[in-house]
Amino acid sequence: MLQPLKGITVLEFSQYLAGPYAGLRLADLGARVIKVERPGSGDACRSLATKDLWVDGDSLLFHTINRNKESFCANLKSAEDLEQVRKLIQQADVMTHNFRPGVMEKIGLDFDSVRAINPTIVYGQVSGYGDTGPWAHKPGQDLLAQAVSGVGWLSGNADQGPVPLGLAIADMLCGTHLAQGILAALVRRQKKNIGAKVEVSLLESMVDFQFEGLTTYLNNGRQMPSRSEVANAHAFLGAPYGIYETRDQWIAISMGSLETLSNALECPALNVADEQAFAQRDALKKMLAERLKSNTTDYWLARMEAHKLWASEVLDYDQLLQHPAFKAVAMPLQVQRQNSAGENVTVTTTRCPIRINGQPFVSPKAAPALGADTARILEALA
């Protein structure tokens, strides 16, 4: 298997999601990722369970984001353990952390201190809101970052309050940006033999995520986003953009001429100039919603596809997993580790979404048990 990051060693002091998500992607691409964890409890994500799901003593959430890594236990308040960590840093290519501002300075593992140990290291730092400003010490948590970023006013219909996205979107985006920055710094190091400090924050990632909407706001007289009353799917787009109920299921309609749509649905009232799609959005969507309830999703899809309109069925997880299109991309991945009794414990998750030269990246290695690799790593340091 082609592994472009083979030979790169990453020390991951990060916990929860954003930093470890970057580590997951680097591991998928061939890097050796060593989680440096506190003895006894480890990464706090080990105890953060979604839907109370646990696997071999660790949360299923921890398993999803820490597969294909190693675990090294070190008490960063211990002089002896800290000395071992410094030896690891000497041999590493990348180091990441998401401690609050000031913590790594107290430990002696801030960027300047680490650069003195390893001048060419790429040092990745995740924060909630940056190192300065009134929010510097505000808890960097996904929902809180969503709440202050303005994104809550884009989902849901006009009569609803702020609606958060139902995923840890700030963490995932921030982790993606961290991985991008690290990869860019590694390319520069290869060319110029210098290290770098890569900084990302949940807030900046959420602002960038909304660049389309914020750019519109900054250039249209600062008019606030306006969600449609019915089937809102994009606060800045007109009818028919949205998801609608049909007689039996749901249907998503994205873009297309209103004249063509009116012909496809045999609904002359929808035949409005496209320039009015936003101004008359609510009235048009209400008519559209009423019309679509008169027949099934399959019927309407056939009509719209015949008229070359962009539309799709709306699937739940069960339907997605059974669909031939999902099976064709082969995303499910099974990973294993041995429990204390020597039995294999299996977790089904998803693989890396990247392919290079047609090659997907898969590894059967599950998230590590706490400290599983400490002895072996210490032996190599001796």
Please identify every residue annotated as catalytic: 171
Give the Cα separation of 245 and 192 in Å (integer): 57
Q: Sign (positive/negative) of CA torsion 87, 89, 90, 91? A: positive
Q: How many CB atoms lie within 10 A of CB 218?
A: 9
β-strand partners of 359: 356
Output the six-digit token pair for 299.
């019927």
Buried b (16+ CB within 10 A) or exposed e, 81-112: bbebbbbbbeebbbbbbbbebeebeebebbbe
Residues 73/370, Cβ–Cβ less than 8 Å: yes
